[in-house]
Every structure is written in C-alpha cells, then in structure tokens.
Amino acid sequence: MEEPRPLGGALGFLEDLGEVWNCQRVSNLHKKHPTMSDAVVSFMKDFLAGGIAAAISKTAVAPIERVKLLLQVQHASKQITAETQYKGIIDCVVRIPKEQGFLSFWRGNLANVIRYFPTQALNFAFKDKYKKIFLGGVDQKTQFWRYFAGNLASGGAAGATSLCFVYPLDFARTRLAADIGKGAAEREFTGLGNCIAKIFKTDGLKGLYLGFNVSVQGIIIYRAAYFGCFDTAKGMLPDPKNTHIVVSWMIAQTVTAAAGLVSYPFDTVRRRMMMQSGRKGADIMYKGTIDCWRKILKDEGSRAFFKGAWSNVIRGMGGAFVLVLYDEIKKYTY
C-alpha cells in the first residue's frame, strides 16, 4: 500500500524482506521458550539488523519510488499542469534531475526510513496477537484451508492495525515526494516536520489521514498476501527453519509481485486522496474515495490505476539484495 510498499508498498511494496526474517526469528523464539531477557536481546538484534538493511535498501530504491509516486499523483497535483505532466518512467527519470536537482530523487525518503521501525514493532506485536485469535487450535496438516484463511486474516489485521499509528508518516512521504519545486521558494514543504505541521494547521488531524479508509482496504489485501501466503508457503516446505535463502527469495518475490499488482489500484486512489489535503473549495478534486475511483476511471481510464506499477517490479528486484544484506549484518550481531 507500500507500498502498497513493504513489503511495500511495497520493498515493493518490497516494503521489505528484512521483516520476513524478523518474523521468522520472533516465531522461533517462542518455540524455544527462552528467558525473557534472551528473547528481548534477540528481538532487538533482529529489529536493528532489519532496520539497518531497510534504511540502506529503501534509500537505494528511493529514486524509483519517487518516480512511481509522481506518476501516480501528477493528475491530482496543483504544481503539475497538463502540459508539464510526465509521459512515463523514462521521461520522469530524465526530467527530475534537470528540473529539481539530482538529490530531489530522495525527497520523502527520510519519512519512509523512519516509518520502518514503528511499523515493524507494531506488525510483530499485533501479528502474534491476531495469530492466537485466528489460528488458535488450528492444525496445519489436517485443517489446511482454515490455516491458510487464518494466516490471511492475522496478517491483514496486523498490517491494518499498525497503519493506524504510522499513517501520517506515509502521508508526509507522499506529499514530499510529490513536491516538484526546485528552490525553497518554489517548494510546497521544506521537510518532514514542516509538511506535517502545515497540513495539521490547515486541515487538522483529519488532513493527515485522508485516504486512510482505502489504505486499510489495500493494506489488508497486500499484508494478507505477504504474511499469509509467505507463512503458508514456508509451512509447506520440508524444513521451513532451514530454507535456503534463494527459495525464501523466490517465494517472497512471487508473493510480493502478485500482492502488489492486486492492491496497486488501492494505492493509487489513497495517494490521490492524500493530495487533497490543504485544498479548499473549487480546488478539491475528489469529494471522497468513491468519487475518486469513479473520476479516475471516467477521466483517465482503467490504466490510470496502474501508473507507475512497472517501477514496483523493478523495485522488487531489490528483494535479493535486502535478504543477502540482512544475512550479512546478522553475522556481526551474533
């Protein structure tokens, strides 16, 4: 929703494969019945290692992410006129450094990196709680479909719940990435803090949560596929705990690509809704989420829901990089 991220949104989402290994480690801790201190230390090592890998990987693919966001929201941007809209990925990549400077490729990246830590902590906390609710007493071997449905439900609910807390960061990331001004005078926002403060002042807390409802719908679909399908697929392997990194990568890539494509229209609509904050009267393009769906389909056609989707595929290639990087970092923390 990561986009549709982690993964996400997408990374891509990825939003990111570091969390796959974090989930596995947390799950293994419960099975081994460690002491509380051992569990905390191990979790923190996994958490920090995943965070470092996420920061590096998200920063590496930030230019691709910004291109995707610009293509998604340019029709709803006050700064981009019909004559100056980007024609596609290549046109966007060429024009950004020329018109805004090379470093502008990383606008909104700080918010995206910061968002990782609370998102992961919340996902892990809620995922275990929801697993007890949806999977308590379910036998994977004799009740496969119930086990599969439980994984979908627990993963989706965990992602949606965590989104309640980190949505303003995702909102700010989108608005900063969509800001095409070159100098300070042309920029709509000067940074993360300025973006949140400015929107809060004009629209209140509600302004920071525009598009939240459709985000929840998209995140449930994406996270359900990510957590649910990945966990289920891993559970079907002969030795899930010792799965080769290449197999884990292939499973994650397949799940990420499929989930990202299915949830992408929801991501487009939610980001269009985010662009409405700060607008008044006649400047408001969409009356609500349903109106946004309707107008995009009517005015731009169904293909508009998937603008920038190809960049998700490119960004998803970073999955292998994250897994290898995370594994290498772990060697120095254990």
State residue 118's pLDDT score.
Answer: 85
| Residue pLDDT, tens place only, 98-141 | 999 999 999 999 999 998 888 877 877 777 788 888 888 888 77
State residue 130's pLDDT score.
Answer: 85
244 assigned to some structural domain: yes
261 assigned to some structural domain: yes
13 assigned to some structural domain: no
Looking up residue 138, the CATH number of its domain turns out to be 1.50.40.10
9 assigned to some structural domain: no
Query: How far are the Cα atoms of 51, 151, 307, 308 from residue 110, in angstroms, in the given order?
Result: 13, 31, 24, 21
CB neighbour burial string for 198-224, b if at least 16 within 10 angstroms, e if fewer = bbeeebeeebbbbbbebbbbbbbbbbb
Token look-up 């596995």 returns 24
DSSP category for residue 228: I
Point out the residues of the chain with pLDDT beneath 50. 2-21, 23-27, 29-31, 320
The tally of domains found in the chain comes to: 1
300 assigned to some structural domain: yes
314 vs 329: CA distance, rounded Å: 24
Structure tokens at 276: 């409405």
Torsion angles phi and psi, residue 301, rounded to 5? 90, 165
State residue 15's pLDDT score.
Answer: 43
7 assigned to some structural domain: no
6 assigned to some structural domain: no
| Residue pLDDT, tens place only, 238-269 | 776 677 767 777 777 777 777 788 889 999 99
Short-list 166, 171, 169, 177, CA closest to 64: 177
157 assigned to some structural domain: yes
The residues, ordered by sequence, that sit 6+ positions from 288 with a Cβ below 8 Å of its Cβ are none
What is the residue range of 94's domain?
Answer: 18-331
State residue 11's pLDDT score.
Answer: 39
